[in-house]
Amino acid sequence: MALLARAHEVRDGQNVLQIRGGAMSTKMVYGNDCNLMIAVRAPGYHSNPHRHDCEQLNYVLEGEVWVFVENEAFLMKTGDFSRIPRNALHWAWNRGTTACTLLECHAPACDPLIRQNAVGLYAEGETPDLSTAVETIRTGDDPGPMEEKVFGKEAAG
């Protein structure tokens, strides 16, 4: 491990959420108190509602994606920022025809040990301490009513 990881050293991982459609690939690095992830959401990507006991900041590098947070929904486009508060019910849906690349930061870290190819950034001799890392809680919440409110009955489909 090292404090620096070159691009070729951080391999693609997989989405750990059960999704409703599409696909997502990730690249993730982490330290003791936060993680940084680049997530590419393919057209049709639709996550299930979930929560985690960490704050999440997002930045759209390319493309666009609908983000739902509790009772709000907004379309994020290239250059937009958003925040998901701790324990807020949220999910995302790429309704477009191109991939969306999102930069995500979670603090404290979402458990990196369950994510394929996540890379820890630690100095030589430093002992990793992931005691504050949080799990993603998959809920049984139905996104349909909120999506119908935003897109209409036929568009939410």
pLDDT digits (tens, 9 = 90+) for 58-68: 999 999 999 99
- Structural domains in the chain, CATH included, are 7-148 (2.60.120.10)
- The pTM of the full predicted model, rounded to 2 decimals, is 0.91
Burial letters 56-79, b for 16+ CB under 10 A, else e:
bebebeebbbbbbbeeebeebeee
Instruction: Quote the pLDDT of residue 15.
Output: 61
Instruction: Quote the pLDDT of residue 113.
Output: 83
What value does the mean pLDDT of the chain take? 92
Name every residue whose Cβ is closer than 8 Å to that of residue 73 and which is 6 or more positions away in sequence.
Answer: 66, 67, 146, 147, 149, 150
Burial letters 32-52, b for 16+ CB under 10 A, else e:
bebbbbbbbbbeebbbebbbb
pLDDT(129) > 70: yes
